[in-house]
Amino acid sequence: MASVLRQSDPDFEQRFSAFLATKREVSEDVDRAVADIIHRVRSEGDKALIDYSKAFDRVDLVQHGIAITPAEIDAAVASAPAATVEALKLARDRIHSHHARQVPQDDRYTDALGVELGSHWTAVESVGLYVPGGTASYPSSVLMNAVPAQVAGVERIVMVVPSPDGRLNPLVLVAARLAGVSEIYRVGGAQAIAALAYGTETIAPVAKIVGPGNAYVAAAKRRVFGTVGIDMIAGPSEVLIVADSDNDPDWIAADLLAQAEHDSAAQSILITDDEGFGNAVVSAVERQLQTLPRTATASASWRDYGAVILVQDLDASLPLVNRIAAEHLEIATADPERLLAGVRNAGAIFLGRYTPEVIGDYVGGSNHVLPTARSARFSSGLSVLDYVKRTSILKLGVEQLRALGPAAIELARAEGLDAHGNSVAIRLNL
């Protein structure tokens, strides 16, 4: 079962630091293999995609085609249960509404000297979205990655998804259509990332690549970074729940397990000020684990990475909360706003007893692509800002150049950059 840490124990700081430093991912060394795959896709294009898909996914792209056709998407939509399509539409609409509020505004102004300054935002022209195959092929993730791009005004949203043994989750095609994805290709792995970055005969290159993937995909994204933009490299999911004893232990246990079922490297942490409540949650977790279809995964996650942290009072949890910097933070107390005010580091926060994190996974409207592994200390969840970029604008007339030029010349000379100084001096006859 999960570890128990007591803030009152004399060795708490040492144990908590060790807990924070625990690595939950084995980083496979796939960099050499990925470098070869990228090289071959750059030099051989579609032919490399066809060969790798045959070798890794056991699928013949000559027969099936690299591009997924509109007719295939039509068929996926027709085959999907109506209730699921409706739920996806609700999710899409709520994600769209929330993200529309994130579109940054241009700022153009003239300062007291008469200098015009500005920040001008434009959408990235084209984006590639990686979608994993197999059991982690989630339609909700397609919406979470593609809808903000659509809101930002990205013209070309390209999706790649492998079809191992020819199998493809039809719901990811449904989600792609709902989210305005413009092209879909039946490729995955490092070869798909290389195709998006450098292009092939069939796939035109994009400017930025987003979306989760396995070790090969992550290594390929790191390698092509610079040629294209990339999003964060996501690690295993995690939830931190701060709960008082007035919660139903079964509700909190269900939330811990919702995280644990994702991955044996997922992490679920409870912080509470009541040891009896903590024990009740642990019992409820053990009980609920019996009936879960993904019990092997959830059990391993809870056993290896789960934790119950007992604090003297919930206010004392705040420094721990901020050091954990969890991807998901639930505050299940009577007055969650009070603790919220002290939270500095978290990807997303879920307030009160009726906001299980799962609502944020699907239909809350906020994004479920969030910083993991303590990276909420320095980064944010996916948003419209990931699909736009800002250009600075500066405009001086001769008077403004007269006012500012001498200081620029002074600094250029102090830095030993004479040609810098000249470009100002020549305009002012200095």
Which residues carry out catalysis? 327-328
Closest distance to its own copies from the beta carbon of 143 (Å)? 10
Decide if residue 408 touches its own copies (CB under 8 A): yes
Decide if residue 91 touches its own copies (CB under 8 A): yes
The residues that bridge with 183 in the sheet, in sequence order, are 158
Closest distance to its own copies from the beta carbon of 191 (Å)? 21
Among 8, 63, 290, 392, binds its own copies (CB under 8 A): 392
Decide if residue 138 touches its own copies (CB under 8 A): yes
Q: Total number of residues binding its own copies (CB under 8 A)?
A: 122
- Say if residues 209 and 130 touch (Cβ distance below 8 Å): yes
SS3 category, 327 = coil
Nearest partner of 175 among 219, 139, 225, judged by Cα: 139
- Contact segment (CB under 8 A) with its own copies among 48-56, 60-68, 186-194, 418-426 equals 418-426
Q: Which two tokens stand for residue 244?
A: 């008082």
Decide if residue 358 touches its own copies (CB under 8 A): yes
**Residue that is written with structure tokens 């500012």 in the block:** 404
**Residue that is written with structure tokens 């505004």 in the block:** 105
- Say if residues 122 and 159 touch (Cβ distance below 8 Å): no
SS3 category, 321 = helix
**Residue that is written with structure tokens 């798909």 in the block:** 192
Decide if residue 186 touches its own copies (CB under 8 A): no
Nearer to its own copies, 6 or 177 (CB): 177
Decide if residue 214 touches its own copies (CB under 8 A): no
Q: Which two tokens stand for residue 30?
A: 């796939």
Closest distance to its own copies from the beta carbon of 152 (Å)? 12
Restricting to residues 16-35, which ones interact with its own copies according to CB under 8 A? Answer: none
Q: Which two tokens stand for residue 251?
A: 């509700």
Q: Is 17 known to sit in a ligand binding site? A: no
Decide if residue 236 touches its own copies (CB under 8 A): no
The residues that bridge with 228 in the sheet, in sequence order, are 225
Closest distance to its own copies from the beta carbon of 212 (Å)? 14
DSSP state at residue 195? H
- Say if residues 323 and 309 touch (Cβ distance below 8 Å): no
- How many Cα neighbours within 13 Å face the side chain of 101? 7
Contact track, its own copies, 246-265, x by CB under 8 A: --x-xx--xx-xx-xxx---
- Say if residues 132 and 213 touch (Cβ distance below 8 Å): yes
Closest distance to its own copies from the beta carbon of 60 (Å)? 27
Annotated binding-site members for substrate: 237, 259, 262, 328, 361, 415, 420
Binding residues: 130, 191, 214, 237, 259, 262, 328, 361, 415, 420
Residue numbers in the known binding site for Zn(2+) are: 259, 262, 361, 420
